[in-house]
Chains A and B, each alone.
Chain A
Amino acid sequence: MSAAIDLSLYAKPEADGRVSMDLAVDGVTCGACIGRIEGAVKQLPGIAEARLNFTNRRLHVVWNGDAEPERIVETLAANGYHGHPFVPLRAEQEEAAEARRLTRCLGVAGFAAMNVMLLSVSVWSGNASDMTSETRDFFHWASALIALPAAAYAGRPFFQSAWRALKARSTNMDVPISIGVVLALGMSLVETAHHAREAYFDSAIMLLFFLLTGRALEHAMRRRTRAVAGNLAALKAESASRFDGDELVAVPVAALRAGDRLMIRSGERVPADGAVLSGRSKVDEGLITGETARRRVAPGDTVYAGSFNYDGALTLTVTAAGGASLIDEIEKLLEKAASAKSRAMRLADRASRIYAPVVHATAALTCVGWLIAGASVHDAIVTAIAVLIITCPCALALAIPAVQVVAAGALFRSNVILNAGDAIERLAEADTIVFDKTGTLTLPEPRVVAAEKVDPEVLEIAARLALSTRHPLATALAREAKSRVPFEGAIEEPGRGVRATIDGIEARAGSAAFCDVPEVVSMPGLSHIYFTHGGKSAAIAVAQSLRPDAVETIARLRALGLDLRILSGDRAAAVAPVAVALGISKWGASLKPAEKIGLIEDLKRGGRRVLMVGDGLNDAPALAAAHVSLSPISAADLTQAQADAVFLGERLAPVADTMIVARRARALMAQNLWLAVIYNAVAVPVAIVGLVTPLIAALAMSGSSLLVTLNALRARRGGAA
């Protein structure tokens, strides 16, 4: 392993003079891990506190000043866990604060709703029997005392959002909610002062409670996926070997600055854009351009962050951000694509835009209608407000978030993490899927081809030899090793191969010349690792291979009625076999990022809703241009940030699961909206004729909310095949 990495970047000083660090820990599977990890870390000198959060798999360590954070990572590794320090993103911290605020509001609203309801039920039964008007007034005043401050506190999320919308001269669902709550409370207060029989304190506060429940759930789900995404980002963060003077120091990539000199060994990913100072090698730029053929680089050449160094060690200087023409070009395209993306109006926005005017007009007409019919001004206003209360969009406001939360949970279990809140609706609308090839349809790393055709004994020895090197082709071979123990005394000759003495005879794995065997005539896209041991020799083919379930998943997607295409930056010779294997007849190869966008725009002009699935840096603009996008977790950071959702693991199945869950969720959203409409169609006439009492309002509101929530739970089913 390389030298310990300098982690001082991640340590943050605490208020009490101590120092703390957060680590994302990989490999935590059961309760026993908590004790093992905390116990081991606490035994290190200087560590004051170590606490593993099992929910989000993060370890919080505090020390008194002179502990070595590197030892924490080493101790975790010695116990079989990967610990990666990270600094929580600001977005994540803000979201955590917002979630706490919502939960506090929910607590207050819950308390108030229960107590006001306690008093209201007494009033309802008292009205039916023999309650004196003094007692009723006392109960109403007590309700007001609870409900007014509680609503002022717990209603803030809605009032603030409504105010922002009104200031921006637009409207959202929170506007009718706020108007309804404020009017209901105001009218109840006036009615109480006039010793009326009925007050609506319970309706107003219960409405807030239901709505806050929906919002808090939505937030909790978003936070959970955000935490997982944050951990994955931390696990992916790599270190770079930087020259400090002549000395080589391992530093986190985040600490690199322009002008730093770096050493890139064979088998390492280039951490930053740079110019080669010395050394020659071949680099794989698959993650950047989609091209699988490796490019030769020599001193003076530019290499891009994300390329994979194959053969020899390189020294390079980090160039200033913006110096890399390729990244520049991609970012320019990205900006254009993102701004050109039509902000399609979401279902909830559309519903609220129709809803608010209709409801307010109905209430106004009710008031006018009663006045014309000869009712008193007081009665007319009370009836109009009852209409507003009964139509307050309790069910409507829950109808869509509830489905989103449940569907996001179902996707989470299918290994899909949503980045964008409205992604589910857009996913459901997709009718065409455009796949990138390299790293999306194929696995991000090469694999041994036709391993079963190689003599198993030979394969095992060759694979164990390959364990001693980090060369990417060898890594593919090393995957086949059944025993994970490398041979003792194995020596790597950089750029050539590995040799070791096994049973007294030297075994070699590496290039044909190194193994002294004839070179096999290679097909494009295939690389060979040669092996010789005594009399035995073999040429083991390594290539980019399809994800294990690609064929099956593509068939499932086709069965869903989706039009499938491949747009790749790779050569036609490399794309064609993949297209044939998957039975996809429409494909394009050697496409530049701008050409990919052009093709997607053409599809969009043809009235199609395109789902783009891609991982490369060259796909990022296309992902932004498409109606909706998915990325594998192995994708370049910039690309992942553009994608609406990210899927984990080696399998392609999450793509099909996503479509199934999204479509069902969309259907349930529509159903829920209809349920809300039907509820209003029944309740509004009753309110208009003036028959609504607080009891009926309470029953109708909780009944409809419960109905849409239960219906939303049906989105749980399915997804995972």
Chain B
Amino acid sequence: MNVLVYLVPLALGLGLAGLFGFLWALRSGQYSDVDGAALRILQDDDVEPGR
């Protein structure tokens, strides 16, 4: 059962990484325009408009 001594903290660490990822995404405004993100992926940024 000694394996738990490092497996549980490891699992928690991974969970925390996910949590910080979420908080980072929230802070940097990733959720501020949810509908727009779905449409922006379809844009051709490298093509000049009207060409």
Name A residues whose Cβ lies closer than 8 Å to a Cβ of B: 30-31, 34-36, 39-40, 52-56, 100, 103-104, 107-108, 111, 114-115, 118-119, 132, 135, 138-139, 142, 146
Which chain B residues lie closer than 8 Å to A146 at the CB level?
A: 12
Which chain A residues lie closer than 8 Å to B38 at the CB level?
A: 31
**A111-B36 CB under 8 A given contacts A35-B43, A35-B49, A132-B1:** no
* Nearest-Cβ distance from residue A136 to partner chain B, whole angstroms: 11
Q: B26 to A100, Cβ gap below 8 A?
A: yes
Q: A54 to B26, Cβ gap below 8 A?
A: no
Interface string of B12-36 (1 = CB under 8 A from A): 1001101100110010000111111
Given known contacts A34-B43, A111-B19, what 14 new A-B pairs fall within 8 Å (CB)?
Answer: A31-B40, A31-B42, A34-B39, A34-B40, A35-B43, A40-B49, A55-B36, A103-B26, A107-B22, A107-B26, A115-B12, A115-B15, A139-B8, A146-B12
The main secondary structure of chain B at its interface with chain A is helix
Cα–Cα distance between A103 and B33 once the two chains are bound (Å): 15
CB-defined A-B contacts under 8 Å, sample of 25: A30-B39, A31-B39, A31-B40, A31-B43, A34-B36, A34-B40, A35-B43, A39-B49, A53-B32, A53-B33, A53-B36, A54-B33, A54-B35, A54-B36, A56-B33, A100-B26, A103-B26, A103-B31, A104-B26, A107-B22, A107-B26, A111-B19, A115-B15, A119-B8, A138-B8
Which chain B residues lie closer than 8 Å to A111 at the CB level?
A: 15-16, 18-19, 22
Cα–Cα distance between A55 and B32 once the two chains are bound (Å): 8
Cα–Cα distance between A170 and B34 once the two chains are bound (Å): 40
Which chain A residues lie closer than 8 Å to B12 at the CB level?
A: 115, 142, 146
**A107-B32 CB under 8 A given contacts A31-B39, A135-B4, A146-B12:** no
Cα–Cα distance between A54 and B40 once the two chains are bound (Å): 10
Which chain B residues lie closer than 8 Å to A114 at the CB level?
A: 15
Cα–Cα distance between A132 and B34 once the two chains are bound (Å): 48
Cα–Cα distance between A331 and B36 once the two chains are bound (Å): 42
Q: A55 to B33, Cβ gap below 8 A?
A: yes
Which chain A residues lie closer than 8 Å to B18 at the CB level?
A: 111
* Nearest-Cβ distance from residue A114 to partner chain B, whole angstroms: 7
Cα–Cα distance between A132 and B1 once the two chains are bound (Å): 10
Which chain A residues lie closer than 8 Å to B4 at the CB level?
A: 135, 138
Which chain A residues lie closer than 8 Å to B31 at the CB level?
A: 103
Cα–Cα distance between A119 and B32 once the two chains are bound (Å): 34
Which chain B residues lie closer than 8 Å to A55 at the CB level?
A: 32-36
Cα–Cα distance between A409 and B2 once the two chains are bound (Å): 52
* Nearest-Cβ distance from residue B6 to partner chain A, whole angstroms: 12
Q: B33 to A107, Cβ gap below 8 A?
A: no
